[in-house]
C-alpha cells in the first residue's frame, strides 16, 4: 500500500469511530429529515438511457464495470481483466462521454490500453446514462452523452431508528485463481442533522480461466478504495462533502489488454490511482423560483508503468482537474427552466520512454473550459411537451513545456438542442429531438500527449445528434424504440509521422453512427421481464471503425438483451436472469481477418435476506452460466500480421458469493 493510501485510510479509521462516539446526541426528528431518493425508470426514458439503482447493483454482485453495464442496452464493456476494461456507448468509447461522480467531472484519460473510468461498485447509489449529445445541462464536451454516478451516504445506510452502524461484507469469486473482496464501513449521526460515512474496500483478483478452461495470464490485479463522506440536512439546505481514493495495481504486459503476440513485450508493473474531493450544496426553499445546486471538485488521476525486469520507466502521467457547476431551476405553471455556469481547469504532466530514445518525450499542458447554459421544459398542453436548451462553451488549451511548448488552441461555440414530445393518448408518446455538443481542444491521453505534438492549429470537435422515439406503456406492459443518427465533425486523433516528430494531433475527419434501440417488457408487483435489441454502425471518414481506433470506438455486432426478475411473496429474496446475444460483426480490421464471431452469455443471480430484514444478506451470482468461450466485441481482437487474436478472451463461468452483515 502506498504512503498516501496509508495516510488516507488511517484518517478514515478515525472517522469511522466518530459516529459511535456521538450517537447519543442524535434526535428522533432526524429520521424524518431525510427521504431517500427513489430511482425509477419511466416511459420518457428512451432505450439506451437508464438508471441503475442500488438494488440492481447488489443483485448483480458487481465487482467491476463489466458486471454493472454489460447487460444494458446500447453499452458494451471489453478488455478481459478489469484494469483494461473500456466502456462503449453506441459503439463510441467513453472518452467522448461526460462522466461525473457526485458531481465531480472525471475527464482524465491516462493510458490508451487501460480503463479511463475507475468506479468501485460497492457504494454506488445510482448510475444514470443519457446516450447521445443531448441537454445543455449534460456539461461541456458531452459529445456522446453523460453518465452520472452518485455514491451512498450515511443516511442511505442507517435503518429507521438507528443512530450508528457498521457494515461488513465478504465476497469471493470462484474462477481460475479466484478472487476475494472485503468491505468495511462505519456510519452514523454526529447530530440529528449531520451524518458521516467512512468506507474501505479491498479486492484481490487472480488470473482467470476462459470458457475453454485455459488460464488467461497476466490478468491478476489488486484494487483498493477508501472514502469519507459528511452529509448535512438543514431545512432547505443540504450538503455533501467527500474524499475518495481508488488505486489499481497489477503486473501485465506493456499493453495490458493484449497477449505477448510479438514475443518481445516485457512484463510491467502498472499502477493507476484517482483521488477526488467533492462538495455539493443544495438550497431548495419554499416556492418555485429557487432550487439551487452548487458542485465544486478537485480530481487527481495518475498512472505509472515500469518494466518489471529492470524498473525502467515506460510511461507516467498525472492530471488534475478543478472545477465547479452552479445552477438554479425555476418553475412556473407549465414551464421549468434550469440555467447556470460551469468551469473546469485541467493540468497534465506526462512523460514516456516507450519509443526509441530519440523520441522519448515529456509534456506539460493546461486547458480550461467555461460554459453558460439554459435548458427549459414547457408542457404546452397535456398532449405536447417542448424542451429546448443552449450552451456556450469557451475552450483554451496551451502547451506549457515539452514537445508541445508554445502551442495554443482556443475556440468558443454555441450548442443548441430541441425536442418535442407528442402524447396523443395517455399510453402513447412520440418524440423527436435534435441536439448539438461541442468539445474544443483539451488535454488528450497522457501517454500520447508526451509522444504526439500539438501545432496549435486544431479545430474543436462538433457533434450533432438526431433521434426519433416512440413509447407505449399501459397496465404494466411497455414498448419503446429509438432510432438515432449522430455525426462528430473534425474528430481529433494522433497521426504517426516518424520524421522530425513521432507524430501530430490532427483533425482526421467525420465520425458517424447510425443505429436503433428497442425494448418490450411487462412489470407486475413482484415479477418483470424485458427483451431488447440495439445496433450501431460506426464509421470514421467513411470506413467502419475497428479495434485500432483507440479513443474513438469500434464495431460491435447487433446485440439482444433479455432479463427476468422475480421476488417471492415473502419479500425475503430476489431472483434474476440476465442474457445477451451478440451477433457476428463483419470484419473491418484488416484484409484477410475473420468476422468478429458472435456469442451468447447467460447470468443468473439471487439475494436472500436471512433475518427477514436487511441486516444479514447472502448473495450469489453465476456469470457466464454455460461457460461459453468468446471475445467481447469491445475487446481488442484479431491481428492480421500474426493471424491470431491478441486481446484476452472473456472469463468463463464464475461463481460469486457474498455475505453482508449490518449492525
Q: Per-residue pLDDT tens for 596-654?
A: 999 999 999 999 999 988 899 999 999 999 999 999 998 877 877 778 888 899 999 99
Average of pLDDT values for 535-544?
A: 94
Cα–Cα distance between 656 and 663 in angstroms, integer?
23
Specify if 653 maps to a domain. no
Residues spanned by the domain of 380: 3-557
In the predicted structure, residue 89 carries a pLDDT above the cut 50: yes
Average of pLDDT values for 444-463?
A: 94
Q: Per-residue pLDDT tens for 304-330?
A: 999 988 999 999 999 999 999 999 999
Q: What confidence tier does 46 reach under pLDDT thresholds 50, 70, 90? A: low
Closest by alpha carbon to 327, among 296, 293, 297, 295?
293
Q: Per-residue pLDDT tens for 141-172?
A: 999 999 999 999 999 999 988 999 999 999 99
Q: Supply the pLDDT for residue 592.
A: 75
Q: Supply the pLDDT for residue 305.
A: 93
Cα–Cα distance between 476 and 5 in angstroms, integer?
48
Q: 17 in helix, strand or coil? A: helix
Q: Per-residue pLDDT tens for 289-308?
A: 999 999 999 999 999 999 98
In the predicted structure, residue 199 carries a pLDDT above the cut 70: yes
Contact between 87 and 95 (Cβ < 8 Å): no
More confident residue, 32 or 308: 308
Contact between 435 and 146 (Cβ < 8 Å): no
**How far, in whole angstroms, is CA 199 from its chain's centroid?**
20
Average of pLDDT values for 181-192?
A: 95
Q: Per-residue pLDDT tens for 207-229?
A: 999 999 999 999 999 999 999 99
Could you tell me what percent of the chain has a pLDDT over 90?
74
Average of pLDDT values for 565-577?
A: 94
Specify if 167 maps to a domain. yes
Q: Supply the pLDDT for residue 27.
A: 36
Cα–Cα distance between 203 and 542 in angstroms, integer?
43
Specify if 572 maps to a domain. no
Q: What confidence tier does 31 reach under pLDDT thresholds 50, 70, 90? A: very low
Q: Supply the pLDDT for residue 637.
A: 78
Contact between 210 and 216 (Cβ < 8 Å): yes
Q: Per-residue pLDDT tens for 465-501?
A: 999 999 999 999 999 999 999 999 999 999 999 888 8
Specify if 629 maps to a domain. no
Q: Compute the mean pLDDT over every residue in the chain, rounded to the nearest whole number.
A: 89
**Which grid cell sits at 155?**
443516511
Cα–Cα distance between 112 and 94 in angstroms, integer?
12
Q: Supply the pLDDT for residue 82.
A: 77
Contact between 530 and 519 (Cβ < 8 Å): yes
Specify if 196 maps to a domain. yes
Q: Per-residue pLDDT tens for 384-423?
A: 999 999 999 999 999 999 999 999 999 999 999 999 999 9
Provide the Cα torsion 496, 502, 505, 511; round to 10°: 20
Give the other-Cβ count within 10 Å of 626's Cβ.
11
Contact between 464 and 434 (Cβ < 8 Å): yes
Specify if 361 maps to a domain. yes
In the predicted structure, residue 20 carries a pLDDT above the cut 90: no
Average of pLDDT values for 35-48?
A: 41
Ranking 100-104, 268-272, 444-448, 644-648 by mean pLDDT, the lowest is: 644-648
Contact between 554 and 563 (Cβ < 8 Å): no
Specify if 119 maps to a domain. yes
Query: Cell 457494515, residue?
Result: 167
Q: What is the CATH number of the domain that holds 311?
A: 2.40.170.20
Cα–Cα distance between 346 and 484 in angstroms, integer?
32
Number of domain units in the chain = 1
Contact between 110 and 303 (Cβ < 8 Å): yes
Cα–Cα distance between 551 and 553 in angstroms, integer?
6
Provide the Cα torsion 597, 84, 352, 276; round to 10°: 140
Specify if 36 maps to a domain. yes
Average of pLDDT values for 51-78?
A: 86
Q: Which residues of 446-470 are buried (b: 16+ CB within 10 A; e: fewer)?
A: bbbbbbbbbebebebbbbbbbbebe
Task: Give phi and psi for 67, each to the nearest 5.
Answer: -60, -35
Question: Beta strands of 262-379 (E only): which ranges?
Answer: 267-283, 292-307, 313-332, 335-352, 361-378
Q: Which residues contact 584 (CB under 8 A, 6 or more apart)?
A: 557, 595, 596, 597, 598
Q: 402 in helix, strand or coil? A: strand
Cα–Cα distance between 481 and 86 in angstroms, integer?
26
Q: Supply the pLDDT for residue 45.
A: 54
Q: Supply the pLDDT for residue 48.
A: 62
Amino acid at each position: 500500500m502506498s504512503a498516501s493510501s496509508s495516510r488516507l485510510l488511517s484518517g478514515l479509521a478515525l472517522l469511522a469511530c466518530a459516529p459511535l462516539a456521538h450517537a447519543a446526541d442524535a434526535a428522533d426528528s432526524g429520521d424524518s429529515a431525510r427521504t431517500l431518493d427513489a430511482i425509477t425508470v419511466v416511459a420518457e426514458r428512451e432505450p439506451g438511457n437508464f438508471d441503475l439503482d442500488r438494488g440492481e447493483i447488489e443483485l448483480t454482485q458487481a465487482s467491476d464495470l463489466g458486471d454493472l453495464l454489460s447487460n444494458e442496452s446500447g453499452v458494451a464493456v471489453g478488455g478481459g481483466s478489469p484494469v483494461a476494461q473500456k466502456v462503449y456507448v453506441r459503439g463510441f468509447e467513453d472518452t467522448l462521454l461526460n462522466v461525473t461522480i457526485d458531481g465531480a467531472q472525471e475527464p482524465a484519460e491516462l493510458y490508451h490500453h487501460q480503463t479511463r473510468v475507475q468506479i468501485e461498485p460497492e457504494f454506488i447509489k445510482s448510475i444514470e446514462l443519457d446516450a447521445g449529445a443531448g441537454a445543455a445541462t449534460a456539461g461541456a464536451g458531452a459529445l456522446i452523452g453523460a453518465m452520472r454516478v452518485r455514491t451512498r451516504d450515511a443516511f442511505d445506510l442507517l435503518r429507521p431508528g438507528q443512530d450508528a452502524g457498521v457494515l461488513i461484507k465478504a465476497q469471493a469469486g470462484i474462477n481460475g485463481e479466484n478472487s476475494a473482496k472485503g468491505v468495511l464501513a462505519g456510519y452514523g449521526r454526529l447530530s440529528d442533522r449531520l451524518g458521516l460515512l467512512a468506507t474501505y474496500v479491498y479486492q484481490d483478483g487472480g488470473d482467470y480461466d476462459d470458457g475453454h478452461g485455459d488460464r488467461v495470464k497476466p490478468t491478476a490485479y489488486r484494487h483498493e478504495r477508501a472514502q469519507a463522506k459528511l452529509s448535512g440536512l438543514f431545512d432547505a439546505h443540504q450538503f455533501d462533502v467527500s474524499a475518495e481514493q481508488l488505486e489499481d495495481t497489477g503486473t501485465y504486459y506493456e499493453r495490458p489488454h493484449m497477449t505477448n503476440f510479438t514475443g518481445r513485450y516485457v512484463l510491467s508493473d502498472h499502477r493507476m490511482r484517482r483521488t477526488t474531493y467533492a462538495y455539493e450544496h443544495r438550497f431548495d426553499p419554499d416556492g418555485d423560483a429557487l432550487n439551487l445546486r452548487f458542485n465544486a471538485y478537485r480530481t487527481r488521476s495518475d498512472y505509472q508503468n515500469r518494466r518489471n525486469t529492470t524498473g525502467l520507466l515506460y510511461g507516467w502521467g498525472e492530471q488534475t482537474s478543478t472545477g465547479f457547476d452552479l445552477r438554479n431551476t425555476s418553475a412556473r405553471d407549465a414551464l421549468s427552466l434550469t440555467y447556470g455556469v460551469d468551469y473546469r481547469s485541467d493540468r497534465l504532466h506526462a512523460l514516456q520512454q516507450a519509443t526509441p530514445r530519440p523520441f522519448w518525450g515529456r509534456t506539460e499542458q493546461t486547458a480550461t473550459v467555461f460554459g453558460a447554459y439554459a435548458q427549459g421544459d414547457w408542457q404546452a398542453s397535456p398532449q405536447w411537451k417542448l424542451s429546448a436548451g443552449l450552451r456556450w462553451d469557451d475552450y483554451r488549451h496551451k502547451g506549457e513545456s515539452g514537445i508541445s511548448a508554445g502551442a495554443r488552441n482556443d475556440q468558443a461555440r454555441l450548442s443548441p438542442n430541441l425536442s418535442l414530445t407528442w402524447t396523443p393518448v395517455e399510453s402513447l408518446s412520440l418524440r423527436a429531438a435534435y441536439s448539438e455538443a461541442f468539445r474544443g481542444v483539451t488535454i488528450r491521453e497522457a501517454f500520447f500527449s508526451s509522444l504526439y505534438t500539438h501545432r496549435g492549429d486544431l479545430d474543436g470537435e462538433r457533434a450533432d445528434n438526431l433521434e426519433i422515439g416512440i413509447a407505449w406503456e399501459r397496465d404494466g406492459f411497455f414498448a419503446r424504440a429509438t432510432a438515432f443518427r449522430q455525426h462528430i465533425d473534425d474528430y481529433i486523433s494522433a497521426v504517426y509521422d516518424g520524421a522530425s516528430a513521432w507524430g501530430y494531433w490532427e483533425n482526421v475527419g467525420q465520425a458517424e453512427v447510425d443505429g436503433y434501440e428497442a425494448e418490450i417488457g411487462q412489470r407486475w408487483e413482484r415479477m418483470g421481464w424485458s427483451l431488447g435489441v440495439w445496433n450501431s454502425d460506426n464509421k470514421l471518414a467513411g470506413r467502419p471503425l475497428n479495434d485500432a481506433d483507440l479513443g474513438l470506438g469500434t464495431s460491435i455486432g447487433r446485440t439482444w438483451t433479455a432479463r427476468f426478475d422475480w421476488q417471492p411473496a415473502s419479500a425475503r429474496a430476489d431472483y434474476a436472469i440476465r442474457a445477451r446475444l451478440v451477433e457476428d460483426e463483419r470484419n473491418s480490421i484488416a484484409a484477410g481477418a475473420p468476422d468478429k464471431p458472435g456469442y451468447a452469455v447467460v447470468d443468473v443471480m439471487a439475494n436472500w435476506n436471512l433475518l427477514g430484514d436487511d441486516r444479514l444478506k447472502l448473495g450469489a451470482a453465476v456469470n457466464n452460466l454455460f461457460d461459453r468461450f468468446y471475445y467481447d466485441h469491445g475487446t481488442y481482437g484479431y491481428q492480421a500480421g500474426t493471424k491470431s487474436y491478441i486481446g484476452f478472451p472473456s472469463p468463463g463461468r464464475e461463481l460469486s458469493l457474498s455475505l453482508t452483515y449490518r449492525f
